[in-house]
Every structure is written in C-alpha cells, then in structure tokens.
Amino acid sequence: MNNGKPKFLHDCSKCVYLGTTITGVFQDNKQTNRFVDHYICGRTVLARFSDEVSDYASTSCGYVVSGRDLLTSTILALAKGLLKMDADFLKDIKFYVTNFTMGLEGK
C-alpha cells in the first residue's frame, strides 16, 4: 500500500486521502491489477479508480458497505481513527464479510 500521494486526481478538498492499494480484477477471463485511491469525507468512504471524475465508488457509513474496495477504504479510515464504530456499522461489516465469504466458497 502507498500512503504517500494519490495516484489519481480528486476534486474534493474536504476528502482525507487514506492510501492507494492495488486490486486484482478479472476481465475477459484474465486477471489484471488496478490502482485504487481511498478517501474519507465525513462519514462517507470513497474508492477512486482513475482521473475520470465519475470513476469512483462511495457509500455512507451506516449503510451496507458493498465491494472490497469500499471495505478497504472503511478499514483504512478505522485504522487511522477517522471513523468510529457503532452498532449499525458493525452490523454492516458483519453482513458484508458473511456474504463475501459465502460467495467465495464455491470457487
């Protein structure tokens, strides 16, 4: 993980950069790697995939965290003390981890 500078442009000055990770993605039956910049803005976590303005995913904490990139953003925010765990948040994480794990069992 890179904690230095973001790989991609990001236009919100309120967002706090959390780090950049490399994620494996499958496309056309072939695995490729992509960079993902992670941010938090208030209680919203973001995962940015390129310089394209609309090429990101986000979710507000308190809703189901869907996708490993947003889960990574959430974990990084927790590790840096920028996000507080509450009962709803823990329920969302448990739901995601349970469903993600179940999805991997058949592979």
At 8-41, the pLDDT tens digits run 999 999 999 999 999 887 778 888 899 999 999 9
Res. 105: pLDDT tops 50: no
The pTM for the full model equals 0.77
> What's residue 106's pLDDT?
43
Own/partner long-range contacts of 72-77 (Cβ < 8 Å, ≥24 apart): 72/21, 72/23, 72/36, 72/38, 72/47, 73/18, 73/38, 73/39, 73/40, 73/45, 73/46, 73/47, 74/45, 76/18, 76/19, 76/38, 76/40, 77/18, 77/38, 77/40, 77/45
Instruction: State pLDDT tens for residues 46-101.
Output: 999 999 999 999 988 766 566 788 888 988 998 899 987 777 677 766 776 676 55
